[in-house]
Amino acid sequence: MFNWQGRTDTEDGNKGLRWHQVVNQQGHSDLPAINLVGLASDLGVRANKGRPGANEGPVSIREALANLPWHWGARLIDSGDTLADSDLSDAQSHYANAVSQALLQSQFVLGLGGGHEIAWGSYQGLYNALQTSSHQTKKIGIVNFDAHFDLRRPAPYTSSGTPFRQIHAHCEQHGDDFQYACIGISRAANTKALFDFADTTGTRYLLDTQCTLDAAKALLTPMLQNVDQLYVTICLDAFPASAAPGVSAPSALGIDVLFVIQVLHFLAQQQAACNYRWALCDIAEMNPAFDIDKRTAKLAARLGFEVADALLPTR
């Protein structure tokens, strides 16, 4: 288990608390909770011919989160990491079980990666929790901030580039709608075959050259009105290499951080209007082996902070 530590401002009492001081505190079980669940894996990145090192990602994100201020009347839980040593599918299943357990306790899950193979585990965790908690079919919508579709064929093996194709196959197998939107797609980083498959499957997407808040709202609102549960995943290679050098495939252009933060808050605000529940978010492709001045880890932590700020009640 990660050793949470950081600055303490005792002179400010409860108003000076930081993430490392509130994590895994006992009591106040009636408060809403965020549960940190990690998948320490770069097996999918290696299989996708990317730069290894993402298995250390969850720890680096926690280190960056530790000193951030805690503004909310809520609990913070750290469920630790699933370690992917040799069998990716097995590790994804163990991670999915941890996600399901947290969701079934009405805790919001913030997944920490690791390569973007975390997405297949996150989806399975949400799907299984919904199957356990209700006999009624629940439509899942996915919003992915990413330079890549990650819709590659999973044959002969799965990777960090295949999770949403795996999800599509799962939807087809179970008769579910494939509700997938990808924001930040680079035409220079996806083949014609991937664009064709995206079009064939009804994937919604915005190119990195099209990313304005109005464009994102127009793209996402029809999907949000047609889903019951929302899963958001943030691939750090969606951002410029200057802001996120610590990834497998740094972006030459990337999308604006403030734009993504605005969309995250929009997704939280639209829950009541569109009648869906945002249950799960993960942050993927954190690779500290290539990080500079911990820029990528700090960005990942800020994004986690913004998700919490969008969803939790202020103290």
d(CA 75, CA 61): 18
148 is in an annotated binding site: yes
237 is in an annotated binding site: yes
Angle at 262 between CA 261 and CA 265, to 5 degrees: 90
Among 146, 183, 170, 143, which Cα is nearest to 276's?
143
Among 126, 22, 111, which Cα is nearest to 303's?
111
150 is in an annotated binding site: yes
282 is in an annotated binding site: no
199 is in an annotated binding site: no
d(CA 73, CA 136): 32
Query: How far does Cα 7 stand from its chain's mean position?
Result: 27
Give the torsion sign (CA, 307, 210, 299, 16).
negative
Unique residue bearing structure tokens 């992917």: 84
Residue 172 burial (CB count, 10 A): 11
Q: Pairing state of beta strands 108-113 and 33-40?
A: parallel
Q: For residue 132, with 0-12 CB atoms within 10 Å meaning exposed, 13-18 middle and 19 or more buried, which class applies?
A: exposed
Q: Which one-letter amino acid corresponds to residue 15?
A: K
- CA neighbours within 13 Å on the CB side: how many for 94? 16
**Alpha helix ranges (H) inside 26-112:** 43-47, 57-66, 88-104
146 is in an annotated binding site: yes
Q: Which one-letter amino acid corresponds to residue 144?
A: N
Binding-site residues for Mn(2+), in ranges, read 116, 146, 148, 150, 235, 237
Binding-site residues, in ranges, read 116, 146, 148, 150, 235, 237
